[in-house]
Structure 1
Amino acid sequence: MSELPEPRFLDDRLAHWARTKPDAEAMDYLDRNWTWAQWNDRVRRLAGALKERGVGRGDVVSFLDMNHPACVELTFAAASLGAANAIINFRLAADELDYVINDSGAKLLVVGAEFKPVIDKIADKLSHVDQIITVSPEGDDEYEAMLDSATPVERGDDVDPEDVAIIMYSSGTTGRPKGVELTQSNLIAHIVNNHDGFTFDEGDKSMVSMPLFHVGGSSYVQFGIHDGVPSVMTREVDGGALAGAILKGANRTFLVPAVLAKVLEAGEDAVKLFAALKTFGYGASPMPLPLLRQALEAWPDTDFIQVYGLTEVCGVISRLMPEDHRNERPERLQSAGRLTNNAEVRVVDPDTLEEVPTNQQGELWFRTKQLMKGYHNKPEATAEAITEDGWFRTGDIGRVDEDGYIFVEDRLKDMIISGGENIYSIEVERVLAEHDAVVDVAVIGVPDDKWGEVVKAVVVTESEVSEKDLIAFARERLAGYKCPKSVDIVDELPRNPTGKVLKKELRKPHWEGRDRATV
């Protein structure tokens, strides 16, 4: 649809549509909607409000709420000043929130009204935040008052496309989240490189339902803006909200596979309603093959696009396109598709760092303009992840076949992906190890037909404690999706001669006979 020159700055297309079709619908949210001119004016006013509050190039602001257009506005407005929006996962527990907000260095925090009580409890720990603005779904709030009183400002002359625009927190090897710095040029490269998979036609509407703290939300929303079609944003990913968006005309979307499972379980009426979708992009967690085959049968006229990616590359790095879902090569349904445009892939032996032959397993490395600037305030972690010649070491084990299809088959990093959420085992282990009864712990991912995989803890204890008690202990200290769904209490953990826990042995009885890439 888009034949305009590639944007140079993140807000270029928003400004373009405000000029060329000011009265056309841009954003629909609950009972509110805005035209392109209105939405652009809100962004310019927000930029003015941020500037008045001392936000400038190199600074960070932060957003904490469920999905809300204000988050996208904050990204645009901050970027136009050369600042970054640190988008915080609203599912985090209080002690995780203060760590992330402090690590980001955010000067100003926009927080949803329902999360304000949590922020109030930790406000004295937020060492950099000097102003907290409350936002609500209805719009009768401090955020709207701030916009109303602000003087609009345009993008600053000193702003550079290589300025960081978004910081997203992804679990890290230390057990604490790492801030992934995505620049304006990173995000634009992601839009351009993947545009042929997420193209909109005149009359289309984009359903934005993935959480905006996830690249599946904040990167996906940019596709509709790029093509100048309306976005219908839902506050949550639930059946009623998704159905409502479709009834408003939304016909293209990106979601996690677990949503498909829920729709198919909901019955004939739900399946019929979702048939209105022209494109269903899915990713962020593996799609069980039986579920995918059921979906292909249920929606024969829908184009399915599977994506594989990482926060560090703004989201998508490979895609299994619609034609691959319905061709005569069913084995390709087990792949992550082929490399996106303007990117390179290598498969490297993680020990020798030598490239391996076609169809042999190794660590997947990618080189692309979508690659993050680095991990926020963590130069050593950045140097470990990105080679001197610009290759990103994913920590994922996979192979590339003779036709260029990428198969992701295991992980070097001990990451669990459950329902599209990345969970780092060491983060859960760190919490469980604090329980008085626990003397040793290992956390693994085990297969689950709905979520792809879920968290399981294997613990050694020195006193009486139940599985229920340990799960409850974790729930008090971690976001719900990170908590173990089951706990095995054992006499000892399997270890190699050097003392390293053999998690492969713990996983084996759960994954045996299953293809890890497809469950």
Structure 2
Amino acid sequence: MTTLDLPAEAADFTAIVGHWETVRPDAPAVTFAGTTRTWAEFARRIRQNAAAQRAAGLRPGDRVAVLDLNHPSCLELTLACAQVGTANAVVNFRLAPPEIVYVVNDSKARILFVGPEFAGAVEQVRDKLPAVEQVIHVGGDGDEYEAWLAAQEPDHEVHPSVPGDCFVQLYTSGTTGFPKGAMLTHSGMLAHSTNVMADFAVDADSRVQVAMPLFHVGGTSYSLLAITAGAQIHLMRLPDPAAALEMVERERITHTFYVPALMAAMLQVPGVAERDFSSVKALSYGASPMPLPVMRGCLKLFPGVMHQVYGMTEQCGVVSSLGPEDHADPAREHLMVSAGTAIHGVEIEVRDPATGEPVPTGEPGEIWVRSAQVMGGYWGKPEATAAAITSDGWLRSGDGGHIDAEGYVYVTDRIKDMIISGGENIYSAEIERVLAEHPSVGDVAVIGVPDERWGEVPKAVVVPAPGAEIDEAALLAWCREQLASFKCPKSVDVLDELPRNPTGKVLKKDLRKPYWEGKDRQVV
């Protein structure tokens, strides 16, 4: 194993790539679609990209944007931006055309890199992208990216970055409005990489599968973690459950990150229980709650390696982890719904969302996080930045939760999704976990609806499991067996599917809207 050893003044991602190019030039860096590039080859392409950016007239502070499924060009762009002083705004490819227009225009990207699946959509909205000077097609029969690189000799000039320079810009989900561009910096991303390396034993011998989209921290931050460690990246174009498992077995993957929905699908892959996943040393999962039935199935499939992680774009990724030993202790099964404890280099507190004062141990409030991983701010939104980051460096997550006496963090809900019924604070995620355990429930969301006596009360909105029918009385009785009466839903709605945003988060504002029209409460 070769370790990363850079002086603090050289600790940026251009220096990191140069380090691994020097000490491991012939070692594999990135594998994608059957092609593997060594660190020397990867570094050369990054420098050609930097030269092409400069030839196009890009200057420090400018933005480029990528609208594509996962492709190595996105990583090359991000790392070339680190060298030039520009920033890569990675667009969520699941967005609708008007949302794509918003993000590209918000970023002020001068060049837009587009995958073949999205060429038609971009052509339709091209006249609505005034800042975009050039569209470059990546991959497929109409590829222009390789020629764009090949026209340049590698550029070794490095913009004298400072730790707070932004080189990648990821957009938050925007469940209540337009997404905001989180400016992720050299110092923040490097802190995230080193903190996670310390807790998850990622090193130059690791084989890191990147299955999540690069528009998400689970894709880009996980890739930059591997690059910092000098590990080999195995990049997937899409997070297909069967293909991901086949890759884990074939390539002897040691580290990966999945979301619970993908892991639920993996349990349904034919013959999955007979596969050999013994190479895996750390399987992280997060970004949404894991239903306990899915967790129990995955613990059989991946014993002794699962880490539940909690994080956010504004902190470059992971801030807490529940390790394998906590998953395996039957005497402490309550920890399975915990997000674990703060990772190396991170402080987590729970504060009163109104006053900002710390609350007593075990009491609910808003989760605040402080670390060197914090973003540089929201692009072009100084007021939103000031509202999110305090003068002493605490990031207000917007998540509700509590911390127990042992330091375990429990994420209960978004603060805005908290239901206040008769003066009692009710967190819908707690009710959702109970309902998800019922065999007739395939998907669930709990919202607050108006009530003349209590102000608002919980309502369950459920999607039946395949082949099942919903019995409202039985579901309500199930809740009464496991929850305090004031927390129990007072009614049940049945839908074919829940409304979700492009990253898969339930749009509770859409579920609430019909019930609050004409009421005093503002629906967000």
- TM-score, normalised via structure 2 length: 0.80
In structure 2, give the amino acid aligned to 1:317: V
Out of 300, 309, 326, the residue aligned to residue 324 of structure 1 is: 326
Out of 278, 284, 288, the residue aligned to residue 285 of structure 1 is: 288
Give per-residue Cα distances to partners, 1:282-340, cap 9 Å, x unaligned.
1111111222122212332x411111011100111111122222234221111101112
Mapped pair 1:493 → 2:515: yes
Per the TM alignment, residue 156 of structure 1 is displaced from its structure 2 partner at its CA by 2.4
Question: What residue in structure 1 maps to residue 479 of structure 2?
Answer: none
Per the TM alignment, residue 480 of structure 1 is displaced from its structure 2 partner at its CA by 9.0
| Cα distance in 2 between the residues matched to 1:393 and 1:128 | 32
Q: SS state of the match for residue 59, structure 2? A: coil
Mapped pair 1:126 → 2:129: yes
Q: SS state of the match for residue 341, structure 1? A: coil
Residues 68 and 137 of structure 1 are in contact (CA less than 8 Å); yes or no, is this contact kept in structure 2?
no
Residues 209 and 234 of structure 1 are in contact (CA less than 8 Å); yes or no, is this contact kept in structure 2?
yes
User: Compared with structure 1, are the counterparts of its residues 446 and 204 closer, same or farther at alpha carbon in structure 2 (3 Å cutoff)?
Assistant: farther
User: Compared with structure 1, are the counterparts of its residues 131 and 264 closer, same or farther at alpha carbon in structure 2 (3 Å cutoff)?
Assistant: same
Question: What residue in structure 2 maps to residue 407 of structure 1?
Answer: 410
Out of 183, 186, 208, the residue aligned to residue 185 of structure 2 is: 183
Out of 302, 311, 316, the residue aligned to residue 309 of structure 1 is: 311
In structure 2, give the amino acid aligned to 1:365: W
In structure 1, give the amino acid aligned to 2:5: L
In structure 2, give the amino acid aligned to 1:239: P
Aligned length: 455
In structure 1, give the amino acid aligned to 2:79: F
| Cα distance in 2 between the residues matched to 1:239 and 1:51 | 39
| Cα distance in 2 between the residues matched to 1:449 and 1:4 | 53
Per the TM alignment, residue 489 of structure 1 is displaced from its structure 2 partner at its CA by 11
Describe how 1:215-294 pairs up with structure 2 within 5 A: 215-246=217-248, 247-269=250-272, 272-294=275-297
| Cα distance in 1 between the residues matched to 2:273 and 2:239 | 15
User: Compared with structure 1, are the counterparts of its residues 127 and 23 closer, same or farther at alpha carbon in structure 2 (3 Å cutoff)?
Assistant: same
User: Compared with structure 1, are the counterparts of its residues 486 and 179 closer, same or farther at alpha carbon in structure 2 (3 Å cutoff)?
Assistant: closer
Give per-residue Cα distances to partners, 1:37-65, cap 9 Å, x unaligned.
00000000000000111112111111110
| Cα distance in 1 between the residues matched to 2:388 and 2:204 | 41
| Cα distance in 2 between the residues matched to 1:272 and 1:13 | 36
Residues 271 and 298 of structure 1 are in contact (CA less than 8 Å); yes or no, is this contact kept in structure 2?
no
Out of 78, 86, 90, the residue aligned to residue 89 of structure 2 is: 86
- Sequence identity percentage: 41
| Cα distance in 2 between the residues matched to 1:27 and 1:305 | 24
Which shows bigger deviation, 147-156 or 396-405?
147-156
User: Compared with structure 1, are the counterparts of its residues 225 and 484 closer, same or farther at alpha carbon in structure 2 (3 Å cutoff)?
Assistant: closer
Question: What residue in structure 2 maps to residue 438 of structure 1?
Answer: none
Instruction: Determine which structure has greater relative contact order: mean sequence separation of CA pairs < 8 Å that are 6+ residues apart, divided by chain length.
Output: 1
Mapped pair 1:366 → 2:361: no
Describe how 1:60-209 pairs up with structure 2 within 5 A: 60-136=63-139, 141-172=143-174, 175-200=177-202, 203-209=205-211
Per the TM alignment, residue 197 of structure 1 is displaced from its structure 2 partner at its CA by 3.0
| Cα distance in 1 between the residues matched to 2:164 and 2:512 | 50
In structure 2, give the amino acid aligned to 1:214: H
| Cα distance in 2 between the residues matched to 1:483 and 1:361 | 22
In structure 1, give the amino acid aligned to 2:245: A
| Cα distance in 1 between the residues matched to 2:503 and 2:376 | 30
Mapped pair 1:4 → 2:2: no
Per the TM alignment, residue 15 of structure 1 is displaced from its structure 2 partner at its CA by 1.4
Describe how 1:372-387 pairs up with structure 2 within 5 A: 372-387=375-390
Describe how 1:442-453 pairs up with structure 2 within 5 A: none
Per the TM alignment, residue 251 of structure 1 is displaced from its structure 2 partner at its CA by 2.9
- TM-score, normalised via structure 1 length: 0.80
| Cα distance in 2 between the residues matched to 1:244 and 1:400 | 38
